[in-house]
């Protein structure tokens, strides 16, 4: 088995849906989430030729699906990497959301399957499964989702 070497490396940027800061690890110079700023970042990434943007998921982030839906019509080529979270959403709803956003963005949706994360955040979202149980749920989720 040989690895396929892509003709071009695909680089994604990070969309700061939880706010932005000048300094890593601090809120110094912090900037609150603002659709105009997210639009500016997405359009800059699009213009500069980035393959896409990662929209983070988590309790301190704006909803990645809503943000991607808002920004897709304001960009031309940029792809949007959003999270599907087994155990937090049903596979049929996730599949419908995926198909819809992919269709209205002209095929520019990328999916990030997030099985776990911060234990406190999982509990806040009503997920009380162990690491192994989350992966079992994910396997079943993906069978239905596909």
- Which residue reads 């993906």 in tokens? 142
| DSSP symbols for 25-92 | TS-TT-B---HHHHHHHHHHHHHTT-SEEE---STTS--HHHHHHHHGGG-SS-EEEEEE-BTTB-HH
Other C-beta atoms lying within 10 Å of the C-beta of residue 32? 8
- DSSP-assigned letter for residue 19: B
Nearest CA to 127 among 88, 85, 94? Answer: 88
Domain-wise residue ranges, the chain: 12-145
**Cα(138)–Cα(38) distance, integer angstroms:** 30
pLDDT digits (tens, 9 = 90+) for 7-50: 788 999 999 998 887 666 666 667 888 999 999 999 999 999 99
- Read off the pTM: 0.87
pLDDT in tens, 125-145: 888 899 899 999 999 999 999
Q: Which CATH superfamily is 12-145 part of?
A: Luciferase-like domain (3.20.20.30)
d(C-alpha 38, C-alpha 34), whole Å: 6
């Amino acid at each position: 088995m040989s690895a396929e070497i892509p003709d071009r490396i695909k680089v994604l940027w990070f969309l700061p849906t939880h706010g932005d800061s000048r300094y890593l690890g601090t809120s110094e110079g912090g900037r609150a989430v603002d659709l105009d700023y997210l639009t500016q970042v997405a359009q800059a990434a699009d213009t500069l030729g980035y393959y896409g943007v990662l929209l983070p998921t988590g309790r301190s982030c704006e909803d990645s699906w809503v943000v991607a839906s808002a920004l897709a019509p304001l960009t031309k080529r940029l792809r949007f990497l959003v999270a599907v979270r087994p155990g937090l959403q049903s596979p049929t709803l996730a599949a419908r959301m995926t198909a819809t956003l992919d269709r209205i963005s002209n095929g520019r949706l990328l999916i990030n399957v997030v099985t776990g994360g911060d234990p406190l955040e999982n509990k806040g979202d009503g997920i009380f499964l162990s690491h192994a149980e989350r992966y079992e749920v994910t396997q079943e989720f993906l069978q239905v989702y596909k």
